[in-house]
Chain A
């Protein structure tokens, strides 16, 4: 298995532009998580899905952020409009169902820079 795949690996954009981050979870995993990593706030859970349904989006910072999971093999995190303070590394992770302490497998991350 290729693991969790994220694209792009790096994204540089200007303030006000729309940004879309993509994630392909490990095949067979039915939980998908989006995290944001910054120096100031560390690793934060933004949202997670179970069977393509958003379960907890309490970590989404504001309405400019939205996430979708149209099918079991694809999810997007969209920021519109983007702001410099959104600059961070965004990670996607997936895990299988069963015990909630099952390992989460992380993707390599997308480094977002908003100028």
Chain B
């Protein structure tokens, strides 16, 4: 069964520093990959998604992610974070077998300090 691993439960970083949130998925013939953000007391909001084509995907709020098929990874990056980026970030996958299920990772809490 498809699974998603986010090894870092929390990532503390200073404001204006770069950040990378790691995501690995179990191998499959094809997958569709997503990053969602959850601000405190809110629902999830789509940051970006990879369906096909260019392996570098740009999303909202200056975030980007790179799909690496050989390493089965989809890490999220931002060159300079803001206090307002403090939130929970979820990596998710839809297997390419026409399943409608979004399978989520356990989440990474990004804590941006001044």
A-side residues, CB < 8 A to B, are 4, 31, 33, 42-43, 45, 48, 55-56, 91, 93, 100-101, 103-104, 106-109
Q: Which of A31, A42, A107 contacts B100 (CB 8 A)?
A: A31
With A100-B98, A100-B99, A103-B49 already in contact, the answer to whether A42 and B43 are too (CB < 8 A) is no
Contact A56 B100 (CB under 8 A): yes
Q: Tell me the dominant secondary structure on chain B's binding face.
A: loop
A-B pairs, 6 with minimum CB distance: A106-B43, A101-B32, A43-B104, A106-B44, A42-B106, A108-B43
Report the number of A-B residue pairs with Cβ-Cβ less than 8 Å: 43
Q: In the complex, which residues of chain A have a beta carbon less than 8 angstroms from the beta carbon of B19?
A: none
Most central of B36, B43, B101 by chain A CB within 10 Å: B43
Given A100-B94, A101-B51, residue A108 in contact with residue B100 (CB < 8 A): no
State the Cβ distance, A44 to closest chain B Cβ, in Å: 8
User: Given contacts A42-B107, A100-B94, could you give 4 more A-B pairs where the C-beta distance is less than 8 Å?
Assistant: A42-B106, A48-B100, A56-B101, A106-B45
When chains A and B are docked, how far (Å) is the Cα of A10 from the Cα of B21?
31
Contacts of A45 in B (CB 8 A): 101-102
The reply to whether the CB of B56 lies closer than 8 angstroms to some CB of chain A is no
CB contact between A100 and one of B100, B106, B107 (< 8 Å): that residue: B100
Cβ of B46 under 8 Å from chain A: yes
